[in-house]
Amino acid sequence: MPRRAHGPHKQEVILAGVFAKRLLSVVEQRFAVTTISDEFIDFENVDFTNVSLAVIFGCGHRIAERYLNKATFINIHGSLLPLGRGPHPHIWSWINGEPHGVTIHKMTAEIDKGPIIAQRKVELEPWENSINSTMYALVDAATELFRENWNDLAEGSFALKSTDPLSGSSHRLKDTQPIRDVVDRFADAPVPIFLQEVSARMAVSLAQQPGPGPSRTFDVGAAPPARRTDGPLLKSSLGT
């Protein structure tokens, strides 16, 4: 159920998603706030009459375009977009060997393809982190990035940087299903151990697929050099 905290101004901000409450103390100083602290967000019964801004932080599904047209929607995503579009970017960044980071972007009908407002690279050592600790490190970094950019977001004075919709990388929910049990069992293990288990699982999956075997490999954790990204990429300063 949405929770409303009244602020001094008529205009309202919606904070939605698993990590939305992390932003409440900053946002409610300037606006009335409605919070929806769920991964799967239902906007059907939300009154958008006075809503100027909706901030999504930890969302597990696509938001219908009919809602995106009712206010300015901002998403906080756990990767350096356009790398890591889609769900579970904290997992796929390790598997794909891509740099870690967080991005604030304006939402459009296409998942994680909206123009970028701000982003930051996050350095993480594999042996010092797990999948779970990676997620919370990115959540902390994203919260900090939001706080630093909040005044510009509140005033609508942020700059936008478009990205090539054909560049980067992306995954869907179903992509994680073949390794779901590996994620559950090794979520707190050091990342190299997790990647070793993922590599073994993918090798088995590939071996079971039709086609010549010796030339077909899955190189877990190998970073594609051409996609290396140095941050912050945009400094007016994780989910979908």
pLDDT value of residue 44: 87
DSSP secondary structure letters along 11-80: -EEEEESTTGGGGHHHHTTTSEEEEE--SS---TT---TTEEEEEEES--SPPPHHHHTTSEEEEEESS-
Q: Positive or negative, the Cα torsion across 106, 225, 174, 57?
A: negative
pLDDT value of residue 14: 95
For residue 161, the 8-state DSSP code is B
Relative orientation angle of helices 89-96 and 131-155, to the nearest 10 degrees? 120
Q: Is it the case that residue 234 has pLDDT exceeding 60?
A: no
Q: Give the pLDDT band (50/70/90) at residue 235.
A: very low
pLDDT digits (tens, 9 = 90+) for 75-91: 999 999 999 999 999 99
Structure tokens at 123: 């350095």
pLDDT value of residue 204: 76
Largest CA distance in the chain: 67
User: How far does Cα 31 stand from its chain's mean position?
Assistant: 24
More confident residue, 73 or 2: 73
- Using CB atoms within 10 A of its CB, is residue 161 exposed (0-12), middle (13-18) or buried (19+)? middle
Domain ranges of the chain: 3-170+224-235
Q: Is it the case that residue 214 has pLDDT exceeding 80?
A: no
The CATH code of domain 3-170+224-235 reads 3.40.50.170
The span from the CA of 229 to the CA of 143, in Å, is: 21
pLDDT digits (tens, 9 = 90+) for 108-158: 999 999 999 999 999 999 999 999 999 999 999 999 999 999 999 999 999
pLDDT value of residue 127: 97
pLDDT digits (tens, 9 = 90+) for 3-52: 555 444 468 999 999 999 999 999 999 999 999 887 778 888 889 999 99
Q: Is it the case that residue 222 has pLDDT exceeding 80?
A: no
Strand partners, 121: 101
14 close to 51: Cβ distance less than 8 angstroms: yes
pLDDT value of residue 211: 59
107 close to 75: Cβ distance less than 8 angstroms: yes
User: How far does Cα 232 stand from its chain's mean position?
Assistant: 16
Supply the pTM of this predicted model: 0.82
The span from the CA of 224 to the CA of 16, in Å, is: 34
For residue 119, the 8-state DSSP code is E
The helix or strand, by DSSP H or E, that contains position 103, with its residue range, turns out to be strand 101-106
Strands 32-36, 12-16: pairing kind: parallel
pLDDT digits (tens, 9 = 90+) for 165-201: 788 999 998 999 999 999 999 999 999 999 999 999 9
pLDDT digits (tens, 9 = 90+) for 47-68: 999 999 999 999 878 888 999 9
233 close to 80: Cβ distance less than 8 angstroms: yes
